[in-house]
């Protein structure tokens, strides 16, 4: 049987073929580790060593905050719950909320101390009160990492202070950020809070995107000698949200510049395009021996892609079915597929269904078709 291929004019956009790994040639970053993720779909738009374990520094605190959010959602604690401050928490170095030993602090204030002020001491307070000890909290962190699909993460502390075995990947940080936005929206505004005061000390949010990139509303920076300078960021433009992770930059200023550049390009160079929706009619198939010459073809899938614009501009689509398609055809039968190809990627196929019943022609109609075939003179090339 002959295989018929029909072009869907609506979808065909001709463009020169790109290299197989289009993203590598179309986008670059100076960061040692990087990822851009589309929030809606969770698709990775760009990655550079994103699946490798790295030192996450204070970006670790996203995991600590996420566990607090889960405890709140499960009703195990409330924002008004008071946590006791130990001497160990008070003595914790690095960036601080400046907790005071032998006092209590509400969960609401501790979350601001962790997220806005990046308080290492606040993380210890949370860990000891939720886990019974820092070690108990680490058991929760590592168990939740596996449960949430963070396969390159291992935690040795709740705040990201240097430890050779304390690791996360950029990909893990991206899926964790997506989970926080999806599952705990009631707490998400904390990540864009500009400042917070505790112990009469006001500290500003360290995220450079909040002041310099329109639409930015999260998430967390990190820096140690081992990790370099990094940031997890998220922003919206129109109906689209991007999640970005970069790490391993050489300075505060380099992080600020690269965070803004990568986030801007995540919108400028990548796009989400809706091509077809369920019940759209994408074309028709010719019918042989039917009471109608053709039948409409309906798709039942949502056909939407979020990719680099040059890849989207190279999309081609074809309707493919076995010909001749012989009557009878029943409405709802799958009789064709829509094959979509794009540069450097595996073809995707979507089933197409008949929009109507097409009955077989009667006996006399078949006789007429047979006579017409007999009376048709041969073509020159057939002689």
DSSP-assigned states of every residue in 103-117: -EEEHHHHHHHHHTS
> In the prediction, which pLDDT does 235 show?
98
> In the prediction, which pLDDT does 144 show?
98
User: Could you report the per-residue pLDDT of 204-241, keeping only the tens digit for each?
Assistant: 999 999 999 999 999 999 999 999 999 999 999 999 99
> In the prediction, which pLDDT does 377 show?
59
Distances (CA, A) of 65 to 160, 236, 269, 325: 13, 22, 32, 59
Calculate mean pLDDT across residues 254-274. 96
Q: How far apart are CA 140 and CA 155, in angstroms?
A: 10
Active-site annotation holds for 95: no
The answer to whether residues 306 and 43 touch, using CB atoms and an 8 Å cutoff, is: yes
> In the prediction, which pLDDT does 344 show?
86
Question: What is the H or E stretch that residue 258 is in?
Answer: helix 252-268
Q: Which of 86, 95, 118, 153 is catalytic?
A: 118
* Every domain of the chain and the residues it spans: 2-16+275-375, 28-268
pLDDT tier at 27, thresholds 50, 70, 90: confident
User: Could you report the per-residue pLDDT of 157-206, keeping only the tens digit for each?
Assistant: 999 999 999 999 999 999 999 999 999 999 999 999 999 999 999 999 99
What lies within 8 Å, CB to CB, of 302 at 6+ separation is 274, 276, 277, 278
Active-site annotation holds for 30: no
Q: Terminal CA-to-CA distance of the chain, rounded, Å?
A: 23
Q: Which of 58, 86, 227, 266 is catalytic?
A: 58
Calculate mean pLDDT across residues 23-32. 75
Secondary structure of residue 327 in the 3-state scheme: coil
The answer to whether residues 247 and 297 touch, using CB atoms and an 8 Å cutoff, is: no
Q: Was domain 28-268 assigned CATH 2.70.98.40? A: no
Active-site annotation holds for 25: no
2-16+275-375: CATH architecture:
Sandwich (2.60)
CB half-sphere exposure, 260, CA atoms < 13 A: 12
* Number of separate helices (H) and strands (E) present in the chain: 11, 18
């Amino acid at each position: 049987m002959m295989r018929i291929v029909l072009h869907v004019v609506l979808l065909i956009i001709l463009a020169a073929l790109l290299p197989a790994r289009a993203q590598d040639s179309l986008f670059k970053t100076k960061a040692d580790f990087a990822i851009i993720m589309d929030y809606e779909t969770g698709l990775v738009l760009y990655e550079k060593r994103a699946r490798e374990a790295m030192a996450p520094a204070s970006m670790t605190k996203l995991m600590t905050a996420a566990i607090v959010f889960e405890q709140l959602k499960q009703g195990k604690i409330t924002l008004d719950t008071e946590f006791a401050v130990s001497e160990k928490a008070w003595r914790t170095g690095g960036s601080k909320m400046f907790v005071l030993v032998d006092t209590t602090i509400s969960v609401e204030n501790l979350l601001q101390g962790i997220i806005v002020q990046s308080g290492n001491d606040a993380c210890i307070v949370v860990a000891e009160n939720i886990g019974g000890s820092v070690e108990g909290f680490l058991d929760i962190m590592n168990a939740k990492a596996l449960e949430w699909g963070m396969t390159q993460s291992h935690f040795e502390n709740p705040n990201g202070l240097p430890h050779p075995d304390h690791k996360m990947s950029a990909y893990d940080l991206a899926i964790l950020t997506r989970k926080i936005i999806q599952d705990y929206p009631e707490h998400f505004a904390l990540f864009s809070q500009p400042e917070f005061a505790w112990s009469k000390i006001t500290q500003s949010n360290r995220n450079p995107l909040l002041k310099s990139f329109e639409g930015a509303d999260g998430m967390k920076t990190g820096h140690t000698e081992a990790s370099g300078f990094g940031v997890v960021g998220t922003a919206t433009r129109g109906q689209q949200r991007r999640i970005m992770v970069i790490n391993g930059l050489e300075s505060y200023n380099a992080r600020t510049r690269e965070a803004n550049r990568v986030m801007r390009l995540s919108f400028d160079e990548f796009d989400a395009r809706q091509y077809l929706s369920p019940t759209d009619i994408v074309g028709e198939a010719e019918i042989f021996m039917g009471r109608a010459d053709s039948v409409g073809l309906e798709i039942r899938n949502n056909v939407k892609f979020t990719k680099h614009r040059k890849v989207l501009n190279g999309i081609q689509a074809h309707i493919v079915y076995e010909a001749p398609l012989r009557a009878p055809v029943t409405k709802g039968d799958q009789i064709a597929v829509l094959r979509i190809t794009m540069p450097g990627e595996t073809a995707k196929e979507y089933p197409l269904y008949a929009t109507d019943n097409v009955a077989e022609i009667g006996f006399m109609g078949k006789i007429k078709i047979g006579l017409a075939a007999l009376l048709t003179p041969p073509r020159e090339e057939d002689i």
